[in-house]
Amino acid sequence: MTKRSLLEVFVLAVVWGGIITASGLQASGGKPAQDERDRPKFYVIRVVSEENVKDANAVLGAPDGRYAEVAPGGRMVLQMEKKIYPSTTFDDGLVVCKGEASFGLEGWFPVTSDQGKSDFVWMPLLRGQSSGGFRVAHVDEIGGNAGVDLIRIANAGTKPLFVDAIIGYGR
């Protein structure tokens, strides 16, 4: 199977997996498992772009009770402090939201074509084990176990999405 075919199968499988949904996750509630709280954490350092978002900079840094409000259909591209790499046992990150949340979450991944040309594509991040948690897929088939430091979050719901922070977990 070619790398391009594997990429297409991977993307279809991830898209078919659906949209990440978090219920009632707040900075003080909906805490990750004890093992994840003990892992090193890092956060968003820059809003690269935003569309239909109020107070986009509220998403910067650690959870602090301030929220970026993403209107239905709105989205933000965010740069993390470090790259998020796939873990074999835990969630790789966490989106901290207020109230019910329905969002799409993607990472900007490097890929290599059959001709050896390098490029980047948006690929969905996988639903994690905890509410609001997400995972970076093992992408050996499409050019290595690449980490991701650009995240795109989009409001997939019909109500505003309130995002406090995105947390990446260290290895």
* CATH number (domain holding residue 26): 2.60.120
Domain count, the chain: 1
Q: Taking the complete model, does pTM exceed 0.85, yes or no?
A: no
Token reading at 27: 């900075």
Residue 127's nearest CA partner among 162, 78, 92, 151 is: 92
DSSP string computed for 88-156:
SSS-SEEEEEESSEEEEEEEEEEEE-TTS-EEEEEEEPEE-SSTTEEEPPP-GGGTSS--EEEEEEEE-
Angstrom distance (rounded) from CA 104 to CA 131:
14
pLDDT in tens, 147-165: 899 999 999 999 999 999 9
- Averaging pLDDT over each range in 11-15, 22-26, 63-67, which range is the top one? 63-67
Residue 32 per-residue DSSP state: P
Domain interval for residue 147: 3-169
Say if residue 171's pLDDT is above 50. Answer: yes
pLDDT in tens, 35-91: 555 789 999 999 999 999 999 999 999 999 999 999 999 999 999 999 999 887 889
pLDDT in tens, 91-125: 999 999 998 889 999 999 888 878 888 888 999 99
Angstrom distance (rounded) from CA 70 to CA 166:
14
